Structures are given as C-alpha cells and as structure tokens.
Structure 1
C-alpha cells in the first residue's frame, strides 16, 4: 500500500481587511455595540478578511488551489481528485469541487465536497489519504474554502465578530515514505443545536433560520474536551508521544480555546501556530491557512511532525498527524 504526503500548500484571502475598529464602527450604525478591546480580549481576533458580495467559495478555493499547485511544482492536469471542505458552497449543486475543477481547466478525476463545518478540512484530508492509499487517486487537491460572511447575522454581536472569509489548500500525493501518520475523526449528532445554521431553501422559499447561531459556552467546553482527547488518541495511534510533535496547527476559533488545549496537552505556546488574530475564524479554511502561513514563514520544516485539528458544528471534530 502506498503512503501519502503533503507536497504543497497554498492560501488565498480576500483583499478587503476589516479591523476590529472598522467592524465596531460599521456595527454601531446598526445599533450593535462592540469594540476592539471587547473582541480582542474574548477571542484574540484583531482583524478579518471579508469577501465582497458576489464573491464565492469556489473563486477563493481556485486561487488557493493554484497557489498550492505552484508550490508543489506540478501541473494542474496531474490532479485526479479534488475535495473541497465548505459550509458555504456556491450552489446546492453542482459541488464547489466541480466548479473548482472547471476553473482550473481540468476534468476526468473525481471531485466532491465534504461538509463537516470547521472540521471539514481534517475530514477531507483524511478522505483523500484513504482514497490515495486505496489506489483510487494519485494526486489530490484538498481545499477548505468559506464565505462565512454570507451566513452571519450582523446584528448578533456574539457571532458576527468571530468569522472571516478565505481558502487554504494542500496537494497530497502518493509517497514511498509515510506522510500522513494517523487520523481520528469523530461526531456527536446529539449536539447539533449548539452550533448550527438551520435554514434551507425549499419550494423556492427560505425555511427556518438562515443565519449561524452558537451557544458559545457549550462550544467552548465541548471543543476543549474533545480536541484534547483527540490529540492524545491520534498520537497513540501513530506510536508517538505528545513531546514528539513539533507543531500544533489547531482550528482557529478562539485563542482561549487554543491556549486551554495547549496547556492540557503540555504543548509550549511557541509550538502552536496561531493566525486567528489576522484571519479570524475561517471555518474549514482555518487549518490549511495556518499551515500554509507557518510553512511559508519558515517555521514548519520538512520532516517535522504536525498535529492538525478541527472542531465544528454537527458536532464534529478530528485530528491528523502528518510528517511534512
């Protein structure tokens, strides 16, 4: 059985940067009171990138995909599998992955979406790993892409300050040496109510609530416990100790969650990659965006072991250990 390895990463963020002060001023016009200090102290977020109205997840994903393909040093035609993790697809169907495939000018290989909200990239990467190992594909594009600004209630201070838009991508290919070392995926559907966007389109009408809703305290508690246990389990599965992990690339939801998990795992803060301050929570895009940032600035080096984690609505969570 072949192994799989990440050979390239890429990222794309919409050019419009909105600082906390900018956002506070915009929200004040709608009667919503917040401030840079309020947002930063509670979340660690200082700014976010927001897509202009009409910009879609597939467009962001295609930019990130091209960057990852260039970084991997391959041609787009070599890609025979595209998996896009998104909760904000362009359409009900076709899949965002098929639209990305078209925009890249390739065809023939498999293309589909994965919907696991903020765990989506971890789910998608695990799926691509399995398909390559099974011989179904040789070279995969795995993308997390979101336009979360399109599903936010901008009068709900508890959620609208938390999220941003963007896309991150990796190229995964067959390898003679282990790259993805272990993965652990989980879900608990009984917790679906603590983080959800429950609306849908039916018979030409929007049915239910089309905006993201969250029980912040419940999500915090669940995320810390679930991801701590998941990290321990995936390390054991890979035959590694937590001390042998070089970098932790967590889902970028809240700096308090990240710090809490790091302390419970005994992970020094200097080994934890945080981009939350610049990107906010970009859901399925947050892990690949952080991974790309840490590779491009020289922190993550070839041969190092990286723990990637996601947790999101569903409720879903998961961890992957990869040797870069």
Structure 2
C-alpha cells in the first residue's frame, strides 16, 4: 500500500494529488481543483474545473463571478463519492464557514484527509466538523497552534458585547468582522442571544449575507449602515470590515465603540495596536486544545501541517508518538484570521 507522501506532493501551486492530477486549494490557476471553502486564500479564481460543496461553489460565484469561479463546476455533497483517475474523493463538514469541507482521498488503499480550515465549536450558520477516522495522514491547519490560544465560549463574547450595548445605550457599537463566515456567525449568535433589533451592515458585508440567506441561513432584519441617519444608529450594532473600524467611516457614527471579533483578540497588544476598545475573542479556527483533540480523534499516525504555528503543534504531537511534518504551503492563512488580513482589505474595497 503506497504511503500518501508518494502520491500527495507539495508544489509551487499547492498540494497536488499526482495520480488524480488535481490540486487541493491551489494558490494559482490549475486545470483541476478541489476547494475546501470559499475564503480567498483557499478559493482562487480561474481554475479549469472546480469540485466543492454546492454552498462553496455558490459563495465562489458570489465573490468571483460566474466566469472566474471555475469554467466547469462540480458540486459534491458530504457523503457522496466521486472517482478521478482511480482516486476516491469525498467530503466531510469542517465547521469553519458555510459549505466548508475536509477533502478525503483514497488511492490503492492509502487514505489522506485534508482538513482545510476548521473549528470544533458549534456554529448556527454551518454544519459541524465531522471526524474522518482511519486515515494514514491527516493534513491540518494550525492558525492558533500555540498553547496560549484557548478560545472562550462564543456565548460569553456575545454577552460581553450586549452588556456593553446596555451600559452605553447612547453609543454605536461598530464590530469589525470578516465578510465571509464571521459576519454571518455574529449575526446568528446575536439573534440566538435575543437581539431582535435591526443589525446594520457596511456595504461590503451585505452581498455575502444575501448569499447565506439564499442558501437557507436566516439572519433577520439587516440594513445598510451607509444609508442610515446618524441618529438611527445610536445604541445600534453595526458590523463592518476590520479595516474600517478605526477609520473615518466609523468615526462619523455616534461616539462609536470600536470592537473587533477575532481569535487574535486573545493577544492584548493586537487589540491595543488597532485601537480596539472592546475585543471579542471569537474565532472560526480550532484553538490549541481543539487542534490536538482533533488530531487524536482521527487516529492518524502521521499529521502534516499546512500553515500557521506549526512548530509547537509538531512538537506536541511528537511527544504523543505522532509523526508531524510542516508543509509550509505558501499563500494560505491570508484571509479571515490570517496574519496578512487580506480579507479585511478585500472587504473594504
């Protein structure tokens, strides 16, 4: 039985399945791509053929346009199987954003699972992560792969936001959040917590919220903040791309409270440097404990780390007898909660 390292290779374009002749989340246009989810560091434009969940394909069309989301698009629902040049391909939910999936591959009895980005915390806007056991190699992210990153319960952070709104009813709370996934999750969590008032959105966040609603995710009363009178936003919650929270767009509001929803808000220096008055530690990625628990649950004897804080995770796995390997894939981790935060710039454009 061939080891996955003989048929899954790191190339300049990304992770390539040689016998199937396709890439998983390639970073440049390729003939055949399997896409884990719609964030722009994973879902690039102009591939020849794209295989993904129906939701991810819809999100790619919304973000990239029909002409750039793959010349041929093949939807694959979790549990369905397709075969490409003898390689069996199926998807399992990743719990990251709507439509996100792990890519499960099997060739000649050898099995590998590519997680994409994932989280284990329940999210009302997407299907929960499902463990695929029995793989020979599990390919994981490590965005928050350090012991310092242990995320609080999302409900606690939403309660913190609502407590601040109650304490300062005359001020406008402006929450920085990424356009895909974090924005819709924040809205859904606020609704679950009893916030029935309109939620106001920067114009860059509206299109993907409409896409989510078209895909069956109910978000309630959403209104464009740009068209609102200043007085109407007093005591309101406004969601906006992170890049505009501390800029002139937000300063025109009524004594705004600058908030930012991100796993990086665990690091106080980051919140202070960005002028965040109310940091909300709300992440769409697995934290340290969840990364390690997931690795153990898969039972994989070998784990490859695509991007993030790989050193600490590889060391921790080694102490448990799991062989770890850092892939250092270039171009991943640049949207959502990645260091470069290109998603913020994209959303503000």
TM-score (norm 1): 0.26
Which structure has the larger Rg over C-alpha atoms?
2
Greater relative contact order, per chain length (Cα 8 Å cut-off, separation 6+) = 1
Whose helix fraction is larger, Structure 1's or Structure 2's? 1
